[in-house]
Amino acid sequence: GESVGLHLPTLSVQEGDNSIINCAYSNSASDYFIWYKQESGKGPQFIIDIRSNMDKRQGQRVTVLLNKTVKHLSLQIAATQPGDSAVYFCAESRHEKLTFGTGTRLTIIP
Amino acid sequence: GAVVSQHPSWVICKSGTSVKIECRSLDFQATTMFWYRQFPKQSLMLMATSNEGSKATYEQGVEKDKFLINHASLTLSTLTVTSAHPEDSSFYICSQIRGAENEQFFGPGTRLTVL
């Protein structure tokens, strides 16, 4: 996983636009990846997951893309809404243990 | 609705005291639960894996004598922060794995402030 830093990357998006949040992972042996949304003062909430035998998975308004060649994961949120404001974490799973990325704070501009 | 609960949601204690945090599975028997710690504006860091009926497995750098974990039943795991110090102030979150897809569900977290 990524090293933990004190400065949380931020992304500001106009309401209604699409958001793309990126994540790089380090362990090529990881076979399961998850995106979580964390609102202030709350625990992480599952958004979408993808296994290493896939390169794309779609949910409701969200799409996860996995590029194993460059060890990159992205989360696309369509038609971003004010309720999407939160910190988004990618996580890689190996033997049921999760390693979280640094996180990205998504801010929606009205 | 919530599937994992934590109690208390926040706690303030004096330096040197011990604090117990509970993690309950509301409708599922979890043989394995996980404990994470999250400092402000940082990511979640796995502290330990709590196994029902056996000793917890701690991650490197986490003191097992300071962070006591007890998983005495399939629905309850507790984390006790012993002799707490201000640097232990953090957001403590538990999780459990459920379902055929091994999805991990997180509790709402416990904010610990040590004065």
Alpha-carbon span B87 to A12, nearest angstrom: 32
Residues 15-74 of B with CB under 8 A from A: 32, 34, 41-46, 49
- Hey, are the CB atoms on B34 and A89 less than 8 Å from each other? no
Counted across chains A and B, CB pairs separated by less than 8 A come out at: 60
Q: Is the pLDDT of residue B114 over 70?
A: yes
State the amino acid at position B79 in one-letter form: L
- Hey, are the CB atoms on A49 and B103 less than 8 Å from each other? yes
Residues of chain A short of pLDDT 50, as ranges, are 1-6
Other Cβ atoms less than 10 A from the Cβ of B85: the count is 11
HEC-encoded secondary structure of A4-62? CCCCCCEEEEECCCCEEEEEECCCCCCCEEEEEEECCCCCCEEEEEEECCCCEEECCCE
Residue partners of B42: CB distance under 8 A and separation at least 6: A4, A5, A6, A8, A102, A103
* pLDDT tens for each residue of A85-97: 999 999 998 888 8
pLDDT at A4: 35
CB B74 within 8 A of CB B29: yes
pLDDT at B100: 66
Tokens of A9: 């990357």
